[in-house]
Amino acid sequence: MSSTLKQAQGFLDFVNASPTPYHVVENVKKQLTSAGFACISERLSWAGKLKKNGKYFVTRNSSSIIAFTVGGQYRPGNGIAIVGGHTDSPTLRVKPTSDIKKDGFTEVGVETYGGGIWHTWFDRDLSLAGRVFIRNSTTGNYEYKLLKIDRPILRIPTLAIHLDKERGKFEFNKETQLRPVLGTDSESLSSKDAEDNDKSFEVIKSVIQRHNKKLVKVISEELNGKPEDIEDFELVLFDTQKSCLGGLENEFIFSPRLDNQVTCYSAIQGLIQSTENLQSETGIRLVSLFDHEEIGSQSAQGADSSFLPDILHRLTSLTFNPTSDLSSQLSPDHFFNSMSKSFVISSDMAHAVHPNYSENYEALNRPKLNAGPVFKINANQRYVTNSPGIVLMKNIASIGKVPMQLFVIRNDSPCGSTIGPMIAAKLGIRTLDIGNPQLSMHSIRETCGSKDIEQLVNLFRTYFEKYTTIESKIIVD
């Protein structure tokens, strides 16, 4: 298999195993662990625990993750080469009470998460995935298990065109019509039984009382548990159709969640591949993947949270000298020195030109599929790319032989944004926005170029390997 196809296939396996941010973090952890990275916890002191040439990762809420390597020649105050991305994608989430019965059907109440193209969720073979909290009856502790039901149990049916008064003009109500059907209504346990079962005090109704009982049973069976042991959960819907190669010559990837699992996969691959030459590295290389970008990043683990600043403060305050007990008492100067020598690549998907809607794109800056990652540029700082950043990345991409493209939005078009501006504002680190081109961003099934995965992996690997030698040549105070 060619290296291009190998990276494309690696991504397909990753995205197929990752229907939620919890699964993204779990699968990133697996890749890092098998590459020799060690897990560290925010709950413990890091003094004396980290070593030069060491490889580590730390998670927050199991939905955001930061992985980093410490160079063999690292000194406090040296720079940090960062790639940032996000783990979440638009989806539908099961409501806290979700059991709906209507016209002989059972349905599940769902809440929209992020700005999905919701009409693409109709007539798809859907299932459930997420995180389920279970009480361990032996220890009395509460543990979470990841859930991914690998068969289509849900569907949001369209209305037959014969009954559609608007005849093809597809508009729908997101509360009442974007609602998945779970089955036909033949509940074996009558509501009277349920009431009789439980007379004891409860703060809120149990999971079994709030959700479809058969569904809760299926969830508990998937996790080898009992329905009554489930304390709570966070479940979202996903399309059971697998991500795959497509197009006449397999030049496309047809897939859910390209935005932004392409970054999660490629950044981690780039970091792992770059660890061969850690001995001579003077800086830290770091990947930060955040939850909650699609809803504004304001949470304890989003890009606007303290997660990345906290980790950077901890790292820059350590001497990396195991014999010294002063390891947490370095001057705060080191933090500021380090930030001014550091750099963030904010990586998120970009818009490739769409042949049937080319009038929606700016005339001269139109990225194409399979032609390399895209510099995202915006005068109003929705993207923070500037010329020193472009000069730096041009140097890095030329060493890695990665072609790059340019994107700017039309003045009469709305523009998306990324985690780039908020990280730049929070930390004062030089930042730029890049991303691989794709079509149909935020559809349940998106399209990107299969050759572009390898290009992005190569770009990140070269960035991690070469950043510290190139950055000192491009200084703007």
**How many residues at the interface with Zn ion, by CB under 5 A?**
3
Closer Cβ to Zn ion, 56 or 290, answer by number? 290
Q: Does 348 bind Zn ion (CB under 5 A)?
A: yes
Closer Cβ to Zn ion, 230 or 377, answer by number? 377
CB of 35 to Zn ion, least distance (A): 25
Q: Does 27 bind Zn ion (CB under 5 A)?
A: no
Side by side, which strands form the sheet with 126-135?
142-148, 126-135, 230-239, 91-102, 105-113, 181-184
Q: Does 87 bind Zn ion (CB under 5 A)?
A: no
Task: For residue 457, give Cα distances in angstroms to 374, 444, 452.
Answer: 14, 24, 9
Of 373, 376, 375, 380, the closest CA to residue 451 belongs to 373
Contacts of Zn ion in 207-226 (CB under 5 A):
none
**Dist. CA 58–CA 68, nearest whole Å:** 9
**Dist. CA 65–CA 26, nearest whole Å:** 9
Contacts of Zn ion in 235-274 (CB under 5 A):
259-260
Contacts of Zn ion in 366-405 (CB under 5 A):
none
Find all residues with CB under 8 Å of 315, minimum gap 6, and list them.
Answer: 46, 50, 68, 80, 284
The three-point CA angle 26-144-15 to 5° equals: 30
CB of 350 to Zn ion, least distance (A): 10
CB of 262 to Zn ion, least distance (A): 9
Q: Which stretch binds Zn ion (CB under 5 A): 308-316, 348-356, 360-368, 407-415?
A: 348-356
DSSP letters spanning 67-116: EEEE-TT--TT--EEEEEEE----EEEEEEEEEEEETTEEEEEEEEESS-
Q: Does 452 bind Zn ion (CB under 5 A)?
A: no
CB of 263 to Zn ion, least distance (A): 8
**Dist. CA 124–CA 292, nearest whole Å:** 24
Closer Cβ to Zn ion, 225 or 416, answer by number? 416
Closer Cβ to Zn ion, 179 or 442, answer by number? 442
CB of 302 to Zn ion, least distance (A): 13
Closer Cβ to Zn ion, 91 or 338, answer by number? 91
CB of 349 to Zn ion, least distance (A): 6
CB of 433 to Zn ion, least distance (A): 11
Closer Cβ to Zn ion, 393 or 441, answer by number? 441
Q: CA quadruple 76, 78, 83, 85: dihedral positive or negative?
A: positive
Residues within the interface to Zn ion (CB under 5 A): 259-260, 348
